[in-house]
């Protein structure tokens, strides 16, 4: 039985191993079609895991993946999970013009709604690539009909981050109809530390993630947001050559341990979809504005 406390949001970024930002300079997009796809089988494994645990989650799905595996999208929806957008092909927003971003967002939303048969309310930018330099993207999301975004890391990272952002959900000045739900962090020793999963969940012992999430639920009294990728439970995925030590460690370390850790996580905490955790009546949202 899950521990008492706030219900947290469980999310999955549905992308394949060769689509991650860390491999941008190593794998060309033109080569994606010739590489062995593993995202379909891995996401089915994730769905099986959730079914066993009785957990429903939000699947931020690439349009590129949905277009090729429509049956996977239908299973996500049929089993009661929330279908949300991760953009078309994992292009970071910092590399898009407003016009390119607008077309990308609307194309992905339209496809997911057509395949899933439900309104797509949520969006997550590739590699949390919305920040101080491109807050205009939040207004574009609102104009496209999205109700929430989960695209800002409210801390420092070598690839992304907006340390000045609120730690918890807020409505930006330039898109008041949109709720931005930043990635979960913990404040300690004058810094914000990631506590939302991803590579941090794999690289460090499970006990640390559990402690940080409990702090958010207990000390802050807030629901946490957790994310991972289907490729993170796939230690047999093809290994890339010619990549640096940092990238190799970040991507491959502890892949064989992730599924077991996820099983523990699903038991240790209460989980649900993003929309039900953050958009339902009575949500514990902080309405703090950030200027565009």
Of the pLDDT bands very low, low, confident and very high (cuts 50, 70, 90), residue 190 is: confident
pLDDT exceeds 50 at position 17: yes
The residue written with tokens 């309405």 in the block is 287
Average pLDDT estimate for 180-199: 94
Are residues 289 and 228 in contact, defined by beta-carbon separation less than 8 angstroms? no
Average pLDDT estimate for 47-67: 98
Of the pLDDT bands very low, low, confident and very high (cuts 50, 70, 90), residue 290 is: low
Distance of CA 254 to the CA centre of its chain: 19
Give the closest residue to 258 by CA, choosing from 236, 232, 278.
232
Mean pLDDT of the chain: 93
Write the CA distances from 149 to 193, 195, 225, integer angstroms. Answer: 21, 18, 12
pLDDT exceeds 60 at position 283: no
Average pLDDT estimate for 137-156: 97
Phi, psi dihedrals of residue 168, rounded to the nearest 5°: -120, 175
Q: Which CATH architecture has domain 8-278?
A: Alpha-Beta Barrel (3.20)
Write the CA distances from 132 to 92, 208, 215, integer angstroms. Answer: 14, 30, 27
More confident residue, 242 or 41: 41
Of the pLDDT bands very low, low, confident and very high (cuts 50, 70, 90), residue 164 is: very high
Of the pLDDT bands very low, low, confident and very high (cuts 50, 70, 90), residue 33 is: very high
* List of residues 6+ apart from 20 with CB closer than 8 A: 90, 229, 231, 251
Give the closest residue to 56 by CA, choosing from 277, 259, 221.
277
Q: pTM of the predicted model, to two decimals?
A: 0.94
* Cα within 13 Å of Cα(285), Cβ side: 23
* Parallel/antiparallel/unpaired status of strands 58-61 and 82-85: parallel
Of the pLDDT bands very low, low, confident and very high (cuts 50, 70, 90), residue 72 is: very high
* Parallel/antiparallel/unpaired status of strands 122-123 and 148-149: parallel
pLDDT for position 285: 39
pLDDT exceeds 90 at position 186: yes
Average pLDDT estimate for 59-80: 98
Average pLDDT estimate for 46-69: 98
Average pLDDT estimate for 90-102: 97
Domain definitions of the chain by residue range: 8-278
* Cα within 13 Å of Cα(10), Cβ side: 21
Question: Per mean pLDDT, which range of 73-82, 113-122, 221-230, 241-250 is the poorest?
Answer: 241-250
SS (H, E, C) 30-78: HHHHHCCCCHHHHHHHHHHHHHHHCCCCEEEECHHHHHHCHHHHHHHHH
pLDDT for position 291: 52
Of the pLDDT bands very low, low, confident and very high (cuts 50, 70, 90), residue 4 is: low
């Amino acid at each position: 039985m899950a521990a008492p406390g706030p219900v947290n949001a469980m999310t999955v970024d549905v992308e394949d191993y060769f689509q991650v930002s860390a491999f941008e300079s190593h794998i060309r997009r033109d080569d994606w079609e010739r590489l062995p796809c593993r995202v379909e089988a891995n996401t089915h494994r994730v769905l099986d895991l959730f079914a066993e645990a009785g957990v429903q989650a939000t699947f931020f799905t690439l349009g590129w993946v949905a277009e090729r595996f429509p049956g996977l999208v239908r299973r996500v929806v049929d089993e009661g999970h929330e279908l949300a957008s991760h953009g078309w092909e994992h292009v970071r927003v910092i590399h898009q013009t407003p016009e390119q971003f607008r077309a990308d967002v609307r194309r992905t939303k339209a496809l997911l709604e057509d395949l899933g048969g439900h309104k797509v309310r949520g969006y997550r930018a590739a590699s949390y690539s919305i920040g101080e330099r491109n807050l205009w993207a939040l207004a574009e999301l609102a104009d496209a009909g999205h109700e929430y975004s989960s695209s800002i890391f409210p801390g420092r990272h070598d690839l992304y981050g907006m340390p000045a952002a609120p730690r918890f959900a807020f409505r930006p000045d330039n898109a008041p109809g949109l709720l931005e739900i930043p990635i979960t962090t913990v404040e300690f020793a004058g810094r914000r530390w990631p506590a939302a999963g991803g590579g941090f969940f794999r690289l460090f012992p499970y006990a640390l993630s559990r402690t940080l999430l409990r702090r958010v639920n207990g000390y802050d009294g807030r629901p946490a947001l957790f994310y991972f990728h289907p490729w993170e439970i796939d230690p047999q995925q093809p290994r890339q050559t010619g990549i640096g030590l940092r990238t190799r460690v970040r991507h491959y370390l502890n892949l064989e341990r992730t599924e077991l850790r996820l099983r523990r996580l699903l038991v240790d905490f209460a989980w649900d979809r993003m929309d039900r955790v953050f958009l339902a009546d009575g949500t514990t949202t902080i309405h703090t504005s950030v200027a565009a």
